[in-house]
Homo-oligomer: A and B are copies of this chain.
Amino acid sequence: MSENGTLRRGRPGYDQQGILDVAVAAFIQYGYDATSMGVLADRLGLSKSAIYHHFASKDEILDRALDTALGALEGVLERADAAHGRAADRLDQVLRGAVHVLVDKLPYVTLLLRVRGNTEVERRALARRRAFDKRVTTLVSEAQAEGSLRSDIDVRIVERLLFGMINSIVEWYRPGGAEDADRLADDVIAIALDGLRMPTSNRVDELLG
């Protein structure tokens, strides 16, 4: 169950990832500050020293949890950059990929979105989020420059509204519901890139003309 044998060193049932999952659920329920190592130990049915065997501190648990979400989002950007092609297509790929990360790592992204920068670990996570947002903003600029996205909206506003829509999914999405990640990603792309309104011929003339 665990390649490097960490499971065997802990109590049965929890490897490092298992502890992380339980800790993230507790941080979301009670808040990070209110969740002591004692509360975590109770939840896990482990001693505090068994947790310290896997993580040096509560801060390290938070760091690893935020890195899980940020690493997955950054991976989406890496893959889109590697794909080359039109910027609009790469943006499409990034938005779809971000929806998948939200659905696949829902509690981790939920925790990331609540970070306010109260500790050094949180401030580093916020800096990585800002760097991610900046790279997406650059992608929007490139798509505007190549003529594939409308250029009458400030690129920073576009990026914020797009990720506002995507991030809001953590508020209501429940795994196993009617919408799987692929369908949800299609819906986000349909609204964000093509819009909800059926085009009138006036509107088509205006856009093409």
A positions within 8 Å CB-CB of B: 88, 147-150, 152-154, 157-158, 160-169, 171-172, 178-179, 184, 187-188, 190-199, 201, 203-204, 207-208
Contact = CB atoms under 8 A, between A and B. Distances in A.
B148 A187 contact: no
A90 to B, nearest CB: 13
Contacts of A196: 149-150, 153, 158, 192-193, 195
A179 B157 CA distance: 9
Nearest to A147: B198
A34 to B, nearest CB: 10
A74 to B, nearest CB: 21
Main secondary structure of the interface of A (DSSP, over half): helix
Contact of A191 (B88, B168, B195, B198): B195
* This protein's copies in its complex: 2
Contacts of A154: 178-179, 187
B197 A204 contact: no
A148 B179 contact: no
Given A154-B179, A193-B197, A204-B208, 12 more contacts: A150-B190, A153-B190, A154-B187, A157-B187, A158-B187, A161-B165, A162-B165, A192-B196, A193-B196, A195-B196, A198-B207, A199-B208
A160 B149 contact: no
A115 to B, nearest CB: 12
